[in-house]
Chains A and B, each alone.
Chain A
Amino acid sequence: MKIAQTQFFDDRWRTGSIPDGFDFQKAQLVLAFGHPALVTDASLFGHIRSLFPGAAIVSSSTAGEILQENVHDNSLVVTAIQFDKTRVQCRVSNIKRHSSSYTTGVHLMKALAEEGDDLIAVFIISDGTHINGSELVSGFSENNPKCVPVTGGLAGDGARFSRTFAGLDLVPEEGNVVAVGFYGDNLKIGHGSFGGWDEFGPERTITRSDKNILFEIDGKNALDLYKEYLGPYREELPGSALLFPLSIREPDSTEHLVRTILSINEQEKSMLFAGNMPEGSKIRLMKANFDRLINGSSTAAKNSFGSLENSSPELALLVSCVGRKLILQERTDEEVQAVKQIFGDHTSLAGFYSYGEISPFNPNTRCELHNQTMTITTFSES
């Protein structure tokens, strides 16, 4: 496996890192993560296409780009991968062509499975505003008997929560979901996901909700509760609500998921979350602590070695939550540096700040939609 990386910012392409023997013609997969304005720019896309004529180009808008140990805004990070033996197949579909996010997931997973029995991993890049992430991942889990790892993230739009874009081999568009399938035994995949948030306050119960719209907690209005907790920062809603994500345990489940607020509706007094909030679920408020968030990223990295044990992966794709970036602010770099420290210099890092991370809790379990985590997928070819 050989990885070449380059970046566009401040109106120009930067000199990238191109390893010896890397063949631009033979790169099979290109990942382009960028600011919505840059990633949808046709001339920039044309440049990438001309650089890698034979590759599948998978694009995603972001709330921040990760390249090696640095975090950028307003840039476009391009990572090209030339596999030695592994096969790659990509599929794209649009939510408009399906009845639901769930069926979109089912459709794409089926399409990838039809390409070969040796499917060993799936990486998803999805629109982050029109798609219900929880339902999308349960669609992908529907036909996954071998429990191949499904990871990825939802596209971002800075801290604006407005328009997100994803695409395959074309300028990305809203509503798209791209699924990348990896085939063959030579690729070793690892994954880790960790938050580092602290729960506080009493445990509460969701008493009224509709899918990912939350109305009432313990019979009281949820938005009022948030406003009370935000105090002087209530004016900064919905951005400031990222300070207090919810830890949620669905009825009949023992796993705690983290859910973050996407938007609020003052008329309905409702809150839209980046994942389903089933009635009867137990929730607690969560609070960030800078050092714990950064340590959380280290933990995610440590968990993502998978079958590699102690040898560092060749590529690590980092999908971190926009909520972490809004908290960490100028210290955001530190959580990426913490990951770099775990992997060392031989691992190429690329990734983005997203509106939802996709990863299983543990190896060989179904994938889940996460919020407020650092989620890492590692790749090595033998």
Chain B
Amino acid sequence: MISIRYHNLLNKQIKKFLTEEQLADESIQHFLEVVNNSYASFERDKKISDHAFSISEKEYQEVTRDLQDQHDIQLQSIFKLKNAIRSLDPLYDIHFSESGAADMISVISFLEEQIKKTKALEVELIHAKEVAEQAAKAKADFLSVMSHEIRTPLNAIIGIAHLLSEDEKLSAQVENLQVLGFAADNLFNLINDILDFSKIDEGKILFSEKSIDIRRLITRIKAANRIRAEERGNILKLIIDEDLPAYIKGDDVRLGQVLNNLISNAVKFTANGTITIEVLLHRLLEDQVEVYFSVTDSGIGIEPGKQQLIFERFTQANAEITREFGGSGLGLAITKKLLNMQHSEIHVESEPGKGSKFHFLLRFKSADADAAKSTMLPEKGKGNLNGIRILLVEDVEFNVFVAEKMLKNWEAVVDIADNGLKAVEKARSNEYDIILMDLQMPVMDGYTASRCIRDQNTAIPIIALTASSSVDIQEKVYDFGMTDYLSKPFNPDELFDTIYKYTTRQ
């Protein structure tokens, strides 16, 4: 009897090799049991292994397929990269094989080379940029320093010309003095242009808010340009809108600079013609006034293609103009920038041979009447500073000479200190109504001196005299306790007004 519980193969083997008699033996049966279990185990293990390996095989097929796909993509990418490189650098083709895959290394080397080249170029460019920036800065610094240096002696020239014109003189000297005055003024304007431009470039411009008698300001500008206009046979006309308020609030110096620029340009480029200045109220806003300004001439005009170019620095409509008419080439650039900084835009309309018209709209704050009154000043004249005690602190002799003469002309009492330390001593022992304080001096500078004086006397007005009107200096002046400042070379009118304003308060 063969038991059916045995493994199929074992059953066959039993049938073939064992007799019934042997099968009946208990020990043989036990043996067969053990053998059968082993068969079953092997069978089971084989089944599991076969199944696992078929799954594993499937997984490997997937992996292989993925790899093949990736390989194909890689080959295509390399092919495209190679084509791109060939079109960039046909000579590099020699590094590539026909087949492809190994070319990845060549492609990477090529890219590496390109990156190295780009890096080197970048370093060079950065270096070049730094050099250029340094050069530009050096140039600007040089211009700025030279302009300051030139302004100090110019201060004396302008001052002396002014004094001479007030003296008794021979008629032959009158013309000479006028020429001297114009030459000095021109030089002064050129230098101011250069200084202004570097200040604008560095963003160091602040706009003040003073009450301006706009009619008086414009009349003065017109008057200042009258002589030159007449010299060139031009007629200057001024149209002022009746509706314009008497006072507005703004920066009179900068407005004057803009209008002066436009008018002097108009005068310069017009001969035997008419220059019309128009100042109109554009509109009244809640607390603002918008004013329309225009300067129209009947001069040479500007070609349409050059009309925007003239606002670039150092550019005039053409080189001959520079030769014929002179100028720094900065005037219009400064004008445009000054207006831009006040959110205004300058416009030009022009036809060659017929003339040009420059115009812009500018907003001012409305001025209240009281504030306006307080700045109303008397016309200066002999004796108007009678008895005012002034301490002038200044170390440059010809500045002292010019200032002293002006002040004495107005009959002020002038005392001089040639450095800060002496000024402190004098302020302690004497009584003054006002102190005019230079900033750069030997022994003790004007800042320190002002602070020392302020420790003892909080009331006395101290006016800084500075060759630079940059924002930094202005702030520093107030930080050290000074009351106000005047730019050198000082305009006699401004000097008078400032002294008058601070000494006649009570």
Assembly CA distance A89 to B124 (angstroms): 77
Count, chain B residues at interface, CB 8 A: 16
Q: Which of A319-337 contact B (CB under 8 A)?
A: 327, 329-331
**B38 with A330: CB separation less than 8 A:** yes
Chain B residues, Cβ within 8 Å of A201: 52, 56, 59-60
Residue on A nearest B62 in the bound complex, by CB: A202
Assembly CA distance A290 to B48 (angstroms): 13
Minimum C-beta distance from B412 to chain A (A): 90
7 sampled A-B residue pairs with Cβ under 8 A? A201-B52, A230-B51, A231-B48, A232-B47, A233-B48, A287-B52, A290-B45
B26-56 Cβ-contact flags toward A at 8 Å (1 or 0): 0000000010011001000101110111011
User: Can you add 4 more A-B contacts, CB < 8 Å, to A200-B56, A230-B51?
Assistant: A200-B52, A231-B55, A330-B37, A330-B41
Chain B residues, Cβ within 8 Å of A288: 45
Q: Does B63 contact A (CB under 8 A)?
A: yes
Chain B residues, Cβ within 8 Å of A285: 52, 56
**B52 with A244: CB separation less than 8 A:** yes
**A229 with B41: CB separation less than 8 A:** no
**B51 with A231: CB separation less than 8 A:** yes
Minimum C-beta distance from B62 to chain A (A): 9
Q: Number of contact residues on A: which range applies?
A: 10 to 19
- Which of B38, B49, B52 is most buried by chain A, counting CB atoms within 10 A of its CB? B52
Assembly CA distance A33 to B479 (angstroms): 94
Q: Does A210 contact B (CB under 8 A)?
A: no
Main secondary structure of the interface of A (DSSP, over half): helix
Q: Does A228 contact B (CB under 8 A)?
A: yes
Q: Which of A222-277 contact B (CB under 8 A)?
A: 228-233, 243-244
A229-B51 contact in complex given A329-B41, A330-B38, A331-B41, C-beta closer than 8 Å? yes
Assembly CA distance A200 to B56 (angstroms): 8
Residue on B nearest A200 in the bound complex, by CB: B56
Minimum C-beta distance from B59 to chain A (A): 6
Minimum C-beta distance from A38 to chain B (A): 26
- A229 interface neighbour in B37, B55, B63, Cβ under 8 Å: B55
Chain A residues, Cβ within 8 Å of B38: 330-331
A229-B34 contact in complex given A290-B45, A329-B41, A331-B41, C-beta closer than 8 Å? no
**B55 with A202: CB separation less than 8 A:** no
Chain A residues, Cβ within 8 Å of B56: 200-202, 229, 285
Main secondary structure of the interface of B (DSSP, over half): helix
Footprint of B on A, CB under 8 Å?
A: 200-202, 228-233, 243-244, 285, 287-288, 290, 327, 329-331
**A330 with B45: CB separation less than 8 A:** no
Residue on A nearest B49 in the bound complex, by CB: A287
**A228 with B41: CB separation less than 8 A:** no
Assembly CA distance A244 to B53 (angstroms): 12
Chain B residues, Cβ within 8 Å of A287: 49, 52
Residue on A nearest B56 in the bound complex, by CB: A201
Residue on A nearest B42 in the bound complex, by CB: A290
Assembly CA distance A230 to B49 (angstroms): 9
**B41 with A202: CB separation less than 8 A:** no
Minimum C-beta distance from A282 to chain B (A): 15
Minimum C-beta distance from A330 to chain B (A): 5
Assembly CA distance A200 to B55 (angstroms): 11
Chain A residues, Cβ within 8 Å of B34: 330
Assembly CA distance A201 to B47 (angstroms): 17
Chain B residues, Cβ within 8 Å of A233: 48
B377-415 Cβ-contact flags toward A at 8 Å (1 or 0): 000000000000000000000000000000000000000
Minimum C-beta distance from A342 to chain B (A): 24
Assembly CA distance A243 to B44 (angstroms): 11
Assembly CA distance A243 to B45 (angstroms): 9
Chain A residues, Cβ within 8 Å of B48: 230-231, 233, 243
**B47 with A229: CB separation less than 8 A:** no
Assembly CA distance A233 to B44 (angstroms): 10
- Which of A201, A230, A327 is most buried by chain B, counting CB atoms within 10 A of its CB? A201
**B52 with A229: CB separation less than 8 A:** yes
Chain B residues, Cβ within 8 Å of A329: 37, 41
- Which of B41, B48, B55 is most buried by chain A, counting CB atoms within 10 A of its CB? B48
Chain A residues, Cβ within 8 Å of B45: 288, 290, 327
Chain B residues, Cβ within 8 Å of A330: 34, 37-38, 41
Residue on A nearest B63 in the bound complex, by CB: A202
Assembly CA distance A287 to B56 (angstroms): 12
**B37 with A228: CB separation less than 8 A:** no
Chain A residues, Cβ within 8 Å of B59: 201-202
Chain A residues, Cβ within 8 Å of B51: 229-232
Minimum C-beta distance from A332 to chain B (A): 11
Residue on B nearest A330 in the bound complex, by CB: B37
Assembly CA distance A200 to B60 (angstroms): 11
Residue on A nearest B53 in the bound complex, by CB: A200
